Structure formats: C-alpha cells, structure tokens
A and B are shown apart, each in its own frame.
Chain A
C-alpha cells in the first residue's frame, strides 16, 4: 500500500517491543520508535522501557542486594565466620545494576536488528491517523507512515506539584536506580508498591529510610496483607510516619533537604532533614506530546489513559494501544507483553485470541515479599457477601528462619474461596520469602479453575513454604489459632 510500514509502534518498552518482535515473525514490515525524555533531574536511559531501565529489573536487583544483607546476618548462625563490620557501598551495587541494564538495552537493539525491525530513536507524535512525525534529540524530523499504529509509550512518575520544592529538590524512581552516589537518609512520601519496595531495599542496604503515609498502604491490595507487609518493614528498621503528608521541601545550606509535613492525627506540623526525597505518588500516562487530539484518540478524562476495547483498539481505526498507557489495565510488564504479542497475532497471524486480564498474579518485592493472585478478601466479600466465602489461613515459619533466629511473625497466607460445595478459589495471598516463585504455579491452577478440595489433594513438597498452601485448613470463621505447628 501507500504506507511505508505494516506496523509502527510508538514506545520501545515491554509492550511495544513484544508487539514489534511478534509482528516481525509474520514477515511484516515493522518499525518502532523509542525516546526517553530526561527526568526533571536529568536522568535518561536506553531502549527497553520502564521495566528494564527504571522498574522491575533494577528494583529486583537492588531488592536482592538488600536480601543478601540479611543473608549475611543469617550466615553467621549457619556457621559462617564473617568479621564485623560489614559495609555496603552504593556505587558498587549501582554500577553493577546499571551495567546489567545497559546490556539489556543492547540485547534489545540486537534482537530488533535480527528480526529486521526498524528502530528509530525518536520522539513520535501524530500528524494523521497513519502518519507519525519523529523528532530526534538534535531536532531532526522524520515522517513515517504505517497501516497500523500501536501506542505503547507507558507512563512516567508524577510529581506532587502542589508541594513547594517538590520538583526542584525531589527525585523519583526514574532517578533512584541511576544515582551514582548513595541517596543517604531518604524520605519516601506516599505508599504505592514502588515506594515500599524502594524504602525496603534502602533500609536493607543500611540507609536511614522513612516512609510517610497519609492513609492506607498499598491501596487496591488486600489490606490485611498490606498491614503485615508494612508491619514487617517497621520491625526490619524502616521508619513510618503515619497519617502525615508533606507540605514543603526546602534546600538547606548543607545541601540537605528540609521537609515540612502535617501530622493529621496530632494536628501538628513537623520537620526533619534528609539527603534525598523520593516521590512515588503514582504514574501519569505519557500522552502529552503524542498529539492524540489531532487524530481523535479518546482518553479517560480523569486518568489521561487511552481508552481501548477488548482487542486493544482505540477509538480510531488502525490505532491500538498496549501497556501502562491503557485505561483499566494492570500496570505490569507481563500483561503488556502478552497484550502486545496477542495483538500482533490478531493483526497478522489470523488469530482471534483476546487478552485475558482476569486472575493476573503479581508480587510486591518488599523485604518480606507479598505475592497474590485473584481477589482480595475485601473484594470477595463485596462481590459475594461474607456468608458466601470461606477464608482459609495460616501463620507459618520458613524452615530457614529457625536456625537464623529470624522473626516470622508476618509470614502468613490465606486462600479466599467460595463457600458452596465446589469451593472455587477466588484469591490466594502469600507473604514470605520467594513469594513470586510460590504464587506463579498456583496462579496457573486458578486459571484452570482450581477448587479448595483439588488443592488439598495435592501433596506438598517438603520442606518448603509453598507446601503450607496445600495444607491450609483453619478457617477465619472458626476463630481457631492459625499457627502451623510441627512437621
């Protein structure tokens, strides 16, 4: 046709890259635009999107660094003689993490090349429904036309613009992972999983870290589990300022930051100084410079996200969207990847399979990890009524914690089931080490419609934490002590 490409993707992140590579498999002419607008602090990165550069990957690696700090302490109980003091050097860790991320950037570029996907390091915006104007860093313009266009530009962290000094002096997760020097004494106001995860590993590597929260932690997640997660962090050493919110950030002569906040419980105003203030107030979809109005792609007036239907189609024919940019979808890499792949298969591979967003498992990588799939207890109660659900639960102690003399108070799991005879599993929640590894297989079981009796017929693997899930038998309704005892 008259269009240069069969498929043009704007955004080289999890969703965009997956879609591009899949489409290329069908022998299509595919192009992808990726561009990183530097953060207000000047941080930028390469191809791969949020997950690779400023999300999942560096986050998990730094989380691992913190876990290894705990391992060092445990090791002494297991007979390893390590002379104190044990120190952590931020720059060694950061460099190693950044080098690995760069290798992934490189890997993606090589893959695109191998699959003959044309890559433009340009910022794209719409001229018309089939035409994209690409702009390089230097200001050079390129016009690209395509039969189908996929918007996958993701999101960027928001700044609380109403707080004086927030933009000038604060950083976000976009900057944290690329810091060359230690962030030092850090404050993370607000409590989305990102801030808890970051506060968690910063504490773990020995930094003085404070989390400030106005109301509840991990909104949208099961609140009982969220409390256990934050309780553990408190016992682990992270400081929490509850029912507080910041009002201003100022720079001191020493170059440190002075933060003022309101304590809504005591009705007082308090201040303290920090080396770093990291905002985690949510992410905004990256649509501003796309010029969506020019082509009529509809967005949600509240969130700014692009509205799509079950086939990832926007309000404009031949224009699609996947990933964090889309309204009503989980902001997760695996869903973006799956959606991108399936979209390519539907466009070019004669498939009609739609993305299933139900029962998507996820894990919060706090010092004590929290993995879950399905409904929270509150959502289940709301949906079915507390009389119609049964919650099986247990407090357990990982074997490895015993010799290490570690506190397992928050190691807990619960399964929310329908109460009627089949007892289908609605949700599974697990707090403990390796929560992601534990939950993944069970998510699969839930996809297969697993019921409580089927789970009970499954023999446990001994000794693991996951086996306790197959042994859940105390209900919340019974009021009995849910602590696992013995072998």
Chain B
C-alpha cells in the first residue's frame, strides 16, 4: 500500500497452503486470519464471561445458568475476519496494486513463478522483491500429530466446540489459547516441556501461570507428547513421556492443540535459485538494518526475519519505512529497540524493554534498581476477586540517571496501559520523571 503511494507498479502474491486438516483463509496474513485479531476477540469473549460473573455483584440479575455457544462466537468472528479480507482486496484495488491469489517462488534472477489454486502458472519479473511470507505452526513430528491435532491455524474457525482440550506448548500462543478456552467454560490442560513463556521475564511468566492455575487451568509440567491416537469414540488419546525420567502418562481429550512454535515459510520459495541466504537451522532470513537480504534487490520483512520480533506492528513499520527509503528519499530505519508487546493471557501482561534477567545480565545486579508493586484494580474490589494478583515493575539503570530500561505490568488492559509508557521510554524517561508525573485516579496505570 505504501509503495503504491509513490506510483510504483506493485504486485502482491498471497497464497495460503491449507493446514493438514484442510483449513485455509483469505488475504491479510496471520494477524488478521489466525493471529492477533481472532485471538483478541476470543480473549474478549472469555473476559466477558468473567464480566458476567462480576456484574451480579454490581447489582445485575439474570438466570444462574449462563452457557457459551462456540458456534455463535466463531461465526461472528469469522464474519469480521472476512470483512477484513474483503477490505484489503478493495484497498489494494483502489491503490492500483495488482493482487494475485497465487503461490510465489523464485525461478531465476528477477523472476518469480506464481501458481494459483488450479495449478495455472505465470511468470512475473520485477526490479525489486519483498519477501514477507511469515510463518506457520510447527508440528511435533510424532505419530498422529498431523492427523489428529489442530493448531492455531485451525482453532479460530473450528466448526465445532473444541470441548475438553489439551494445549501442548508454553508459548504465548499456547497460554493465550488455553486462557480463553478455559474462560469460555471448557476443561483445559496445558502440557509444558520446561518453562513458560521462554524469552519473557520469568518472574512474570510464573505469575501468569499461577493465575491460570488458580482459575482452573491444569498444567502438566515437564512432559512431552509421544503419540496421539483415537481413544474412546469422539476423543483422542495422548501418550506423554516425562522429560526427567521414564514416567509415561496417558490422557483423553476432545481436542489437542499444538502451540510449540512457528517455522518460517522460506524453504520452498526458491531462495536458492536467486542465492538468498537463510539460516539453515531456523529457516529465518538475515537482513541488514535496511531489511535487505544478501541479494541487493531482494528485501524481507516480518516474522521471517532473523533476530527480529515476530509482531504485526513491527512488520508494518518495517515495511512502510523500507518503501519510504526506497522510493521516498527517506532515511528513517525501523527502530527495533524498546518495542512494546502484550500477552493476552487471562491476566494480561504488557512489557517494554528489558526483562529483569536480561537487565541483570547486561548491566549487573548492583547497577539496576527494580521498583515494584502489587495492586488491586478498583473494579475487582466489589466482586472481591483476585486481590494482590496484579503486579507492576520497572527496571532502572542506576548508572544512567535511573533511566527506565524495562517496564512490566500484569493486570487488566495491559496493552492500553503499556503503549503510553513505551512512548515515554522512547523519550528516555527516568525514574524521577516518572515520579513527578501525576496519576489519573482511579485507574490501574496510575
């Protein structure tokens, strides 16, 4: 969309390889179809379930029995996602960007082959190329995984209620999904190989896990599935082995959701034909700070980049700035430092900057100061729930005027809270400036 503004002749190839269970979707990528958007909407559905309970304490009266209908929710969400797919197609058309629903792969210098659903092939040439193929969920590589398990690629459009679910993984995807499924009233178990939310502040990760456990989500820790097969009719039998010994356990579930990680879609797009180097182990593409691969006319943005954050806003920013540099004479590069993020678990977690561990590692424990506090959102007092579960901490660099280098908040609306603090961190805020800012009362952010 940005390139079209500079009146460049632009083409977009988008194609969704169906999931092992045959699921597919429209234009827009992961975020719109099987990521941020449907995830947040299902998280909202779960939060509304909690709101229903709270509302009784605030004087609202309605029947005791409140049930959730998965199909109603899934249909509403899919309708909205469909409107976004449509919106993108219209926008591309309006901006004169040529869109083809075809699988693109390099066949030679400056040349790409596009194959559509019906197998029809076309060749296109371009002065420059941008690879933004993103990732897809990884499978376990155990018997029954592709036949019986679903992934986040399937969950959001599942045409039946998942029922009793086993979520395999400890990524934010795993925890967010487990969280909202439980919030909708389903029996949820999470099977974790080792730690929760690798790469995130571990102190907070543990608090998130604790909160989920207190709210009825079961955790099976230090086990990995080794086989998935049919169990009693309508159910799947999962066999798992301990990572610490020889113990084997079995369990039956209606649904097994794999969320163990994502793999870059870079292996089958002909990168070898044009000499674009990828990290053989991870499949990710290394780029310089201008998103350029080792082949000067080929660029890359988004989840496929090596050592960059897998986030929609980062991809958008990088893509826009790249185009502005290529065609608009701009020089701004994407700033990957202090990118804020939020995990939409039942107790939301917003963060920007260093985790406590990485701050200690980089600066030394004696050179950082951590200020922290538990808090109780006013809205939770009347329903008397979860006192002292919400938590906030900031990590300051003592040697640099107590500059705030890490911000972490665990509580409702964590994303809304964190955004502004991320802007302040970008402005180099210090603890003193934070102290001198007046709070808004009564809110959690204060």
Contacts and interface: CB of A to CB of B under 8 A. Distances in A.
A437 B444 contact: yes
B442 interface: yes
B353 interface: no
A189 B70 CA distance: 46
Contacts of A94: 59
17 contacts: A68-B60, A81-B67, A82-B62, A85-B62, A87-B60, A89-B59, A89-B61, A334-B438, A361-B437, A403-B76, A445-B423, A448-B433, A454-B426, A459-B339, A460-B419, A463-B36, A486-B84
Given A68-B55, A96-B382, A455-B423, A83 B62 contact: yes
A217 interface: no
Interface of B: 28, 31-32, 36-37, 40-41, 44-45, 48-49, 51-52, 54-55, 57-63, 66-74, 76-77, 80, 84, 87-88, 91, 184, 311-314, 316-317, 332, 335, 338-342, 350, 378-379, 381-382, 413, 415-424, 426-429, 433-434, 436-446
Contact of B424 (A87, A332, A363, A448): A448
Interface residues of A, number: 82
Contact of A64 (B70, B379, B429, B446): B379
A463 B40 contact: yes
A68 B51 contact: yes
A138 interface: no
A464 interface: yes
B350 A461 contact: yes
Interface stretch (A55-63, A262-270, A279-287): A55-63
A485 B350 CA distance: 25
A461 B426 contact: no
A470 B419 contact: yes
A80 B382 contact: no
Given A71-B52, A442-B420, A449-B427, A61 B434 contact: no
Contacts of A457: 332, 335, 426
A462 interface: yes
Contacts of B340: 458-459, 461
B60 A371 contact: no
A65 B58 contact: yes
Given A399-B37, A403-B41, 19 more contacts: A57-B378, A60-B442, A65-B55, A65-B59, A68-B51, A72-B55, A78-B73, A83-B62, A83-B63, A334-B446, A434-B413, A436-B446, A438-B420, A440-B417, A441-B417, A444-B434, A445-B427, A466-B415, A467-B415
Interface in A403-448: 403, 434, 436-445, 447-448
A231 interface: no
A437 B48 contact: no
Contacts of A61: 58, 378-379, 381-382
Contacts of B80: 402-403
A175 interface: no
A332 B60 contact: no
Contact of B418 (A445, A461, A465, A486): A461
Interface of A: 51, 56-57, 60-61, 64-65, 68-69, 71-72, 74-75, 77-83, 85-94, 96-97, 100, 205, 332-335, 338, 356, 360-363, 371, 399-400, 402-403, 434, 436-445, 447-450, 454-455, 457-467, 469-470, 485-487
Contacts of A469: 419-420, 423
A56 B91 contact: no
A413 B88 CA distance: 24
Contacts of B48: 71, 74-75, 78, 80
A83 B62 CA distance: 7
A78 B44 contact: yes
A78 B76 CA distance: 7
A75 B49 contact: yes
A100 B439 CA distance: 22
Contact of B66 (A82, A360, A462): A82
A56 B441 contact: yes
Contact of A71 (B31, B55, B442): B55
A335 B76 contact: no
Given A60-B442, A434-B413, A78 B45 contact: yes
Q: Choose among B335, B429, B438 the residue with the greatest number of A CB atoms under 10 Å from its CB.
A: B438
Contact of B422 (A68, A97, A458): A458
A102 to B, nearest CB: 12
